[in-house]
Structures are given as C-alpha cells and as structure tokens.
Amino acid sequence: DVAEYKFNGLTSTFKGLKDGDYILVEDTAPAGYSVVSEFKFTIKGGKVENVESATNGRSYKDEKGNIVVEDAPIVKLSKESLGGTPIPESAGKAEFTLIANDEGATLQGVKINGNEVTEDTNETKFSGNAVDFEYLKAGKYTLVEDTAPTGYSVVSSFTFTVDEKGKVTEVSSATNGRSYKDEKGSIVVEDTPIIKIDKKEVGGTPIPEESGKAKFKLTAEDADKTLEGVKVNGGEALGE
C-alpha cells in the first residue's frame, strides 16, 4: 500500500483521491521563495471540502474547488559599496539590528539566512553582506547598521515596509550612504568608503610618535559643496 508520495511541479493534478484527510508538505520552494508549512485538506464526495491555513505563506480552496498554495517571496538584503560595487570579503561583514515597528509585532518565526528567531521579540541582531529574510509579516521594520565592514562608514538606520504578499513596497532614505529597493524588490544598502590620509616622511617612512601630530585644514573647494555631515577621525558629524 502507498500512503506517501513525493512529486514536484507548480501546477499538479490528483485523480482518484478517496474521501478522507490528507497532509501536503512543501519540502522545497521555487528559487526566491519560502516554503509554506505543512497543511491538511479534506476530500468529501470526491471534492475538496476543507483546506487548513498554513502558518507560513497561504493555502486555501479557490472558487473552483482547487487547492491554492501561495509561497511568500524571500526578502533579500544586499550590502554594497557606494556606487553599487561589491564589498570585498576581506572587509568582513556588516552587523545589523532588525526591529519590527508595529505595535504587538514579533519577529518570532522569521528566518535570517536560515537561522530562525525562536524568541517572542521585536528586535534581533545578525551579520552579513548578503542576507535572506524569510517569513517577514506585513508591516513596517527598522534596520540599523551597527557596524560596517572594515574601511566603510555605517549608514544611518532606515525603515522598510512589507505588504500582505511579503514584498518590499517602500524603503526610506538613509542619512549616511544609500538605502533603496532595486528593480528585483531587494533592499540595497550602500556604505560610503572611509577616505584615509597617512602622514609619512619622504620615502614612505612612518613619522615617530614623539614628533607630535600634524595640523590640517580641509576645505570644500566647489561652491555648491560643504563639509556638513563629514566625520573626521570618528568624531561628531560636522554641522550637526
């Protein structure tokens, strides 16, 4: 007797299902989508009588009596250098805090690069320059970059919104660097590289510490440019 059968496809048909209860498990979702949790459906008189709701994604009976399974898209976060160039692996990974803003919202059940948030919390930390979010519920979120890759400045925190279909609909602008939604619906965060000046002797020999420090004056030469927001040696942003 066969009580279990594996198959694949986006549109599948069943013939000869006897009356009773059945469980459907999505083992693997199409690329870019999250699997739904397993759900139960009932056959009565040769027709679909009832379809239980899935915890992740949606499962239901449509007006034609068909079973419909809707997978939630995976929300992607891409961490790049300003201008859209990849950040080298040698620079390390950015560290972030994700916050669910809506009242009573929780991140429990959300997966970040495959790691599930098991606690009932509205805030969690993670690291990575390429990140997949699965099972984000509809609502507004804040993303804070706590630590940037080596040689880059952190962006300010920014917000993004996920709709009922699990897609990103809006990404607010970051004060430092850039944050936006690209044509694929992914969240892109671009960090500004840190510009360094290295004071040395002629020939490249380091200047000894006992010689003291040099004093400089930085001027924005273009008439339409200012130094507002610039940080020198990690200090407070100028003009703020």
pLDDT tens for 41-87 read 999 999 999 998 776 777 888 999 999 888 888 999 988 877 778 88
Strands 187-191 and 75-81, bridge-based pairing: parallel
Q: What is the pLDDT of residue 144?
A: 92
Q: Summarize pLDDT for 192-212 with one digit per residue, the tens.
A: 776 667 776 667 787 788 888
Q: What is the pLDDT of residue 103?
A: 95
Burial class (CB in 10 A: 0-12, 13-18, 19+), 128: middle
* Tokens found for residue 193: 């590289």
68 Cβ partners below 8 Å, 6+ apart?
Answer: 58, 59, 60, 61, 62
Q: What is the pLDDT of residue 205?
A: 81
